[in-house]
């Protein structure tokens, strides 16, 4: 931590290593406000305890589950080991590669799990506020670089071993405008109307960083065409809340699939991870470490 001012009277704890077992940006912001710089490790604890519990029991037991799961992962030092890296198992030295996903996106995590990866999720606090005057490729690649390097620094400071960090950033582009996540429902409607009945591009920038600090930076473009969608469908979609926290105000793998008439390119790139390119390049980093 940069400044643990309330612990500095004790030398043995003034540089305490703090882990936040939550992906909540509000909780992270609160801790930063009091001078903490915790490592964010997302718990996979299933928050499905019985609602018959008292409110106190419910929140306390849920917090216990999150804390113990993250504690076990950290203590065992197995939290970075993939259960099955089938596309690397021909090489003994990399079949148990330690993978880190520098993103709190549940969609990206779900995609990696679908191909057999079980990465540690470490949330980057990188401010995604680069100039929109950059080209789409520069914007997504440099944002991914910022995320990857910040997580790499956090892991090194905490002496956490890793083999590869995966960082991504996705934007939608139409009429040369870089469109990120909507600010509110009105902004979501503006974005969806702008995408309606025409083609737009989805760019995902990816950065892979290995344990030797070698970096592979690239981006992938997929073109998407919306059909002619009536405004009332957009309004009902926005009410579901699915549009929020998504580049372009839609999730193609969910309800917004009904808006999409055609795509040209990698479907998974639209979701947030161009899997073919990521695996191809990750194999190169891991199988040829020098």
Whether 183 maps to a domain, the answer reads yes
Would you say 181 and 247 are in contact if contact means Cβ atoms under 8 Å apart? yes
68 token code pair: 């113990």
Model confidence at 84: pLDDT above 50: no
Residue 83 and residue 97: Cα distance in Å, rounded?
10
Whether 195 maps to a domain, the answer reads yes
Whether 31 maps to a domain, the answer reads no
Mention every residue, 6+ apart, whose C-beta is less than 8 A from residue 111. Answer: 268, 271, 272, 273, 275
Q: At what angle do helices 231-239 and 185-195 cross, to 10 degrees?
A: 140
Q: In Å, what is the CA distance from 73 to each residue of 24, 67, 118, 190, 265?
A: 19, 10, 12, 43, 37
Between strands 120-121 and 99-101, the pairing is: parallel
| Highest mean predicted confidence (pLDDT) among 24-28, 96-100, 160-164, 184-188 | 184-188
Average pLDDT value for residue range 146-174: 93
Mention every residue, 6+ apart, whose C-beta is less than 8 A from residue 248. Answer: 171, 172, 179, 191, 195, 200, 202
Phi, psi angle pair for 159, to nearest 5° = 55, 40
Q: How confident is the model at residue 1, as a pLDDT? A: 41
Q: Which residue is catalytic, options 11, 96, 169, 187? A: 169
Which tens digits make up the pLDDT trace of 40-65? Answer: 887 777 777 788 888 988 888 888 88
Average pLDDT value for residue range 143-163: 92
Whether 226 maps to a domain, the answer reads yes
Mention every residue, 6+ apart, whose C-beta is less than 8 A from residue 196. Answer: 226, 228, 229, 234
Whether 23 maps to a domain, the answer reads no
Whether 268 maps to a domain, the answer reads yes
Model confidence at 34: pLDDT above 80: no
Model confidence at 96: pLDDT above 80: no
The model's pTM is 0.74
236 token code pair: 């009902």
Paired with 179 in beta bridges are 172
Residue 212 and residue 210: Cα distance in Å, rounded?
5
Annotated catalytic residue 187 = no
Which tens digits make up the pLDDT trace of 244-262? Answer: 989 999 999 989 999 999 9
Q: For residue 32, give the nearest of 109, 127, 108, 102 by alpha carbon.
A: 127
Q: How confident is the model at residue 38 (pLDDT cuts 50, 70, 90)?
A: confident
Check which CATH number belongs to the domain holding 269 and give it. Answer: 3.90.950.10
The three-class DSSP label of residue 205 is: strand
Paired with 222 in beta bridges are 202
Whether 12 maps to a domain, the answer reads no
Provide the domain limits for residue 123. 77-287
- Angle, alpha carbons 113-28-75 (nearest 5°): 55
Whether 65 maps to a domain, the answer reads no
Tally of domains within the chain: 1
Between strands 39-40 and 19-20, the pairing is: parallel
Residue 154 and residue 162: Cα distance in Å, rounded?
11
Would you say 273 and 281 are in contact if contact means Cβ atoms under 8 Å apart? no
Least confident of 90-99, 157-166, 225-234: 90-99
């Amino acid at each position: 931590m940069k400044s643990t001012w309330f612990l500095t009277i004790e030398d043995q704890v003034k540089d305490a290593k703090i882990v936040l077992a939550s992906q909540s940006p509000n909780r992270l912001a609160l801790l930063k406000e009091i001078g903490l710089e915790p490592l964010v490790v997302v718990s996979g604890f299933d928050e499905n305890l019985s609602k018959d519990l008292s409110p106190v029991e419910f929140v306390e037991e849920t917090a216990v589950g999150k804390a113990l799961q993250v504690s076990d992962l950290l203590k065992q030092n197995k939290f970075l080991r993939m259960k099955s890296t089938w596309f690397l198992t021909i090489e003994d030295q990399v079949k148990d590669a330690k993978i880190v996903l520098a993103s709190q996106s549940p969609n990206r995590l779900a995609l990696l799990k679908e191909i057999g990866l079980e990465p540690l999720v470490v949330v980057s606090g990188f401010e995604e506020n680069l100039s929109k005057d950059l080209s789409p490729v520069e914007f997504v690649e440099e944002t991914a670089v910022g995320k990857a390097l910040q997580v790499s620094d956090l892991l090194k400071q905490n002496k956490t071993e890793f083999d590869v960090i995966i960082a991504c950033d996705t934007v939608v582009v139409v009429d040369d405008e870089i469109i990120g996540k909507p600010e509110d429902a009105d902004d979501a409607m503006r974005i969806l109307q702008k995408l309606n009945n025409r083609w737009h591009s989805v760019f995902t920038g990816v950065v892979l960083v290995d344990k030797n600090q070698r970096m592979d930076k690239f981006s992938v473009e997929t073109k998407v065409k919306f059909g002619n969608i009536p405004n009332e469908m957009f309004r009902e979609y926005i009410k579901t809340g699915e549009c929020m926290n998504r580049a372009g105000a839609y999730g193609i793998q969910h309800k917004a699939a009904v808006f999409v008439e055609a795509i040209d390119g990698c479907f998974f790139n639209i979701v947030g991870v161009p899997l073919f390119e990521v695996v191809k390049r990750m194999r190169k980093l891991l199988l040829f470490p020098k």
